[in-house]
Amino acid sequence: MGPGSGRWWPWVMLFALTASVLGVGLALGALDTGDKVASLISCLVGVVTLGLTWVTSRVPSRVNDTLETSAFQSLSKQMAEHVRREATGRHLLFPEPLRVPWSSVNGPAAASPDVVLGRLSGVRRTALHLCGDVTTLADTVAALPARQVVILGDEGAGKTSTALLLALRLIDEGRIPLLIDLAGWAADLDRLDEYLVRCLRSVLPAGLSVEVVRAVASRLVDSEKLIPVLDGLDEMPSGLRELVIKDVQTWNRPFVLTSQPLEYETAVRAAGVTAARALVVRLAPMPVPEIIAHLTAGRADTERRWSDVVARLHKQDGGPLGEVLSSPLMSGLARTAYTPSDSDPDELLSLDTADAVERHLMDVVYRRDEPLTWLAGLAGHLTRLEMRHMDLSGPLTPAGWGRHRRRAVSFLVTACAGWFAAFDGRHIDWSGPLYDTIAAIAAWIAILVGYMILRLAYRSRADIATPFRLKITITRMLRGAASAVGFATVLNLMVLLSPNNSPDLSDPRLVAGIITITLLIAVLGVFGWGSLTETVADNEVSQPLATLRRDRIALVAHFPLPIIGTAAYCATIGGWTEFYGTLVLSLLASTIVRNQVPGLAWSRWVLWRLLLFRRIPTHDRSLGEALEDARTRGILRASGTSYRFQHAKIHDYLARSEGALSDL
């Protein structure tokens, strides 16, 4: 079955199910209406709308060169913007990239030289002796047959920065680096290849089916235009590290993988295989000339302010001070700490040990800026949860809870909130004073919105929440109307074919009634939330909070269809006394249709913000503003709707000093 060829089966199931149910009803004489003119009109409308649905729902069934070119251009634009934004936030491009040295790794955790470089007739290589700095690593990797590289380095050695510089070079060469944060991979939901495809789905041209997305992604990868940059192997649980090594071992395509040495070597031993044909390199400490160039570049009055520090660095490679500043992370902190003109770099000269230098630099950077002391609370909170990132739209129930326990909590929260919303609505006094009535209606609407937030936030089916944005598309609205009227067509056809009915073709009220019903059904289909919203891609999320605010607006897409449907039901079949309870049930039904629905991500963020309000004090700012401020300062980084610290060492330091910093 080719891509896009499976689109017909839901129609077959819908028709078969409807025919079965109505057939039983006709056989039992349950349907005895004589409105066959309505059936004829609706049948005609239904045929047209079904045809429209078929045409508008068609997607390209083949992956041709034009489609691949369109996908490539879309991805290239998205990833170029994302990589440059990350590189700028890490100050990698000014004054110039740090020339961190590297050397090739030999041993049991690395593939043999003949595997990495390719075999030569009559020659057997025993070891690799490659070296350079991060500005030349791209040239070395480009010369490899498989163009695969594993970048190893200690905390703060510059692994992610090196991967970003490689990504910039790939963009210049016309290829697409796909930055993947391995901490976001849930192995129980996707295989690694499927996770890559999921990351690609929302940045490919709109209107493609899942099958076509997979085919396009496969072609891009096979043609070596798309290169995964897998960052943070060391930040995954040990079992998942092993799975990553086993998955990439089968890849015959370029990739970049970063990790700390011990975690990588342990994963390779556990997996029993190396990372395919990858060249394994290890980042080395920066030499003294590079440290000095980094500390003084672009700084005023360097001769006076930094002369003593420079002299110490030249003396026996700087001792403990040189050992600490040879890390790109610590060198960057030193630049930040002593950029103000009233600061004195000579403070570093009085510190006797490497640990003292590290603690001093982090104390200066984070204690000096009191608005950032709340980060210690965030780091401590994440550490207690054994997490490295804060997902603003993550599940509210702990990851260790079983499926049945999650479902029980979801049911209790939804049932209690729904009962309260329905009960409160019944107490609106429509005959009382206008002001009191308006206030009661406003309060009930607020309770109804709160009910929706709780229902969405505690959905047990969705571990990953995809943000939406409100976007009205005529084609999708027509498709929704066509689907709704198409269902009515089946109903009318069954009534038409019933031997118990004889329509009166001369009754104008019959025609008017059927036209009205048909239009109402079409309106219901138009306002289905699937016609009013679209998902937001992770690569489009430059500011997580702005994305969540768009998801908040998309939440209104749940309301038109249930309100119109409930009003129609109460006006024709039920009574208006049933409006409140029926509306609550209709809103509940609008959140069951699919796994990912509008408002899910924002609803979880609302409750997370309430839960963390007292645990992470942010002075006079909201938690959202504080997160964005830390991101713009380069302390936190964002991926999708998740925040995490730029460096694990900073995270650990702040977590250890949570109590001391919070007292400032």
Query: Following DSSP, what letter does each residue of 29-63 receive, concatenated?
Result: T------HHHHHHHHHHHHHHHHHHHHHT----S-
* Res 266: pLDDT: 94
Contacts of 442 (CB under 8 A, 6+ apart): none
Higher per-residue confidence, 616 vs 529: 616
Which domain, by its residues, includes 440? 403-457
Q: Where among 283, 314, 330 does a domain terminate? A: 283
The answer to whether residues 267 and 125 belong to one domain is yes
Nearest to 517 by CA among 496, 491, 488: 488
Q: What is the mean pLDDT of residues 239-252?
A: 90
| DSSP run (H or E) holding 372 | none
- Report if residue 266 sits inside a domain: yes
Q: Where among 394, 422, 457 does a domain terminate? A: 457
SS3 108: coil
Angle at 379 between CA 378 and CA 380, to 5 degrees: 90
* Res 505: pLDDT: 54
Q: What is the mean pLDDT of residues 300-305?
A: 80
- Report if residue 74 sits inside a domain: no
Identify whether 433 is preceded by a cis peptide bond (ω within 30 of 0).
no
- Cβ–Cβ < 8 Å for 646, 635: yes
Token pair of 568, please?
């129609």
- Report if residue 45 sits inside a domain: no
Given a cut of 60, whether residue 663 has pLDDT beyond it is no
Q: What is the pLDDT of residues 66-119, one digit of tens each?
A: 766 776 777 777 778 878 877 776 777 766 778 889 999 998 889 888 888 887
pLDDT grade for 396, boundaries at 50, 70 and 90? confident
SS3 98: coil
* Res 261: pLDDT: 94
% of the chain surpassing 90 pLDDT: 10
Q: What is the pLDDT of residues 579-633, one digit of tens each?
A: 888 888 888 877 776 767 888 888 888 888 887 776 777 766 778 888 888 887 7
* Res 262: pLDDT: 94
CATH code (residue 129): 3.40.50
Given a cut of 80, whether residue 452 has pLDDT beyond it is yes
* Res 55: pLDDT: 44
- Report if residue 63 sits inside a domain: no
* Res 598: pLDDT: 86
Rg of the chain on CA atoms, in Å: 31
The whole-angstrom separation of Cα 371 and Cα 626 is: 8
The answer to whether residues 125 and 260 belong to one domain is yes
Angle at 558 between CA 554 and CA 562, to 5 degrees: 160
Contacts of 339 (CB under 8 A, 6+ apart): 299
* Res 151: pLDDT: 95
- Report if residue 566 sits inside a domain: no
Range of lowest pLDDT (19-23, 80-84, 340-344, 600-604): 19-23
Q: What is the mean pLDDT of residues 445-460?
A: 82
Q: Where among 264, 283, 302 does a domain terminate? A: 283
Given a cut of 90, whether residue 643 has pLDDT beyond it is no
Mean pLDDT of the chain, nearest integer = 77
Given a cut of 60, whether residue 36 has pLDDT beyond it is no
Higher per-residue confidence, 328 vs 459: 328
- Report if residue 31 sits inside a domain: no
Dihedral angle computed from the Cα positions of residues 256, 257, 260 and 264, in that order, rounded to the nearest 10 degrees: -130
Contacts of 463 (CB under 8 A, 6+ apart): 186, 189, 395
Most confident of 26-35, 139-148, 396-405, 523-532: 139-148
Most confident of 313-317, 354-358, 496-500, 606-610: 354-358
- Report if residue 565 sits inside a domain: no
Dihedral angle computed from the Cα positions of residues 557, 561, 564 and 565, in that order, rounded to the nearest 10 degrees: -160
The answer to whether residues 265 and 410 belong to one domain is no
Q: Give the CA count within 13 Å in the CB-facing half-sphere of 504.
A: 7
Higher per-residue confidence, 141 vs 569: 141
SS3 212: helix
Q: How many domains does the chain have?
A: 2
Given a cut of 60, whether residue 539 has pLDDT beyond it is no
Q: What is the pLDDT of residues 165-209, one digit of tens each?
A: 888 888 888 888 888 888 777 666 677 877 777 667 655 655 555
- Report if residue 630 sits inside a domain: no
Q: What is the pLDDT of residues 404-418, one digit of tens each?
A: 777 788 788 888 888
The whole-angstrom separation of Cα 584 and Cα 384 is: 38
